[in-house]
Structure 1
Amino acid sequence: MSTLAQPDFPSGVIKALSFKQPVAWLIANGYLLVDDRSWGTSYRGPILIHASKGLYEAYYQYINSHTDVPIPDRDKLEYGGVVGIARLVLCSKPGELPAGMRDEQRAHFGGVHQAYYGFLFDQARPLPRIPCAGKLGIFDINVDQLLAAPPAAQSELF
């Protein structure tokens, strides 16, 4: 059994979604509740937060310079693997939000373009990084297989 396995660590096949940094870190640590995409999904439930190898440099600089979010230094952000888990609770265009949403949640859709879909996350928490390759869209990750596999070569993760 891997040293990562613990009672609150996810197991089995779980949906995942890839994000560039610092978006992956912000979602996994509960600072970003909504991310926007040009496509929607009917999936709701647990979703692994996968950090791709990319960095949105301008967004990182903005967060670092204009907010009080304690974002790690660039070299401390993790890439090429699962870095957190959250629940995907809603996928909606900003003009189609359900009436029963909390005001805090509704406010996070303010930055979503009207033609895009906002993915609303809650119960987010960081996880020890599990190296693995990402994919486009929502994809499945078998956590048990990843934890049981020998470490991948760094070049295989991207």
Structure 2
Amino acid sequence: MKAITIHQPWATLITLEEKQFETRSWATKYSGPIAIHAGKKVDKEICLEEPFRSVLAEHGFTADNLPTGAVVAICQLGECHEVMADFGNYALIAEDRFYIGAQEYHFGNYESGRYAWELLSVKPIDPVPAKGQQGLWNWGGERDASRT
């Protein structure tokens, strides 16, 4: 199964279905099942900012108890949309003029020319320890995850 490593708290926000798009500087043509790997890096400062702090707290998380170094969810990678314009508090993605606003906007980097990867059907799993990698990588632990 393909996997992607995402720093915390963003990996947890995806797992909690509070974040629907992962923003990247590069596009992918891949679509299909993907494992969400929480990297070992936690941005503790952003965890104190709004809306991060309140959304994490709503689910019982702080910067100190986020899972790291583990696959935390399985989902479907849908379409990869180019960010067409960033207006400072909302963004326009894809040529079909789909707007990203409010909380979702704050949970990503929607600078023009970046890409928003749509994450669908997120299924949280009990964390499965794994070493992450840059880019899309192959995760061999999906058999263990299917038992959770």
Q: TM-score range by the shorter chain?
A: 0.7 to 0.9
2:26 paired residue number: 39
Equivalenced residues, count: 130
Moved more, 57-66 or 83-92: 57-66
Displacement of 1:98 after TM fit?
5.0
2:88 paired residue number: none
Displacement of 1:99 after TM fit?
3.0
Question: Which runs of no fewer than 5 residues in structure 1 stay unpaired?
Answer: 1-13, 148-158
Identical-pair percentage: 25
- Secondary structure in 1 matching 2:26: coil
Corresponding position: 1:97 with 2:94: yes
Question: Which runs of no fewer than 5 residues in structure 2 stay unpaired?
Answer: 85-92
Q: Select the residue among 127, 130, 133 that pairs with 1:129.
A: 127
Corresponding position: 1:23 with 2:20: no
Displacement of 1:43 after TM fit?
0.5
Q: Select the residue among 52, 59, 72 that pairs with 1:83.
A: 72
1:117 paired residue number: 115
Moved more, 69-78 or 87-96: 69-78
In 2 relative to 1, CA 118–47 (structure 1 residues): closer, same or farther, beyond 3 Å?
Answer: same
2:40 paired residue number: 53
- Secondary structure in 1 matching 2:79: strand
Displacement of 1:132 after TM fit?
0.9
Deviations 1:10-45 (A, max 9, x none): xxxx10000111101000110001121111100011
Deviations 1:32-86 (A, max 9, x none): 0112111110001111000110011232111115887435122321111101111
CA distance in 1, matches of 2:59, 2:2: 28
CA distance in 2, matches of 1:71, 1:114: 34
In 2 relative to 1, CA 109–44 (structure 1 residues): closer, same or farther, beyond 3 Å?
Answer: farther
Higher helix share: 1
Could you tell me whether the CA contact under 8 Å between 1:109 and 1:118 is conserved in 2? no
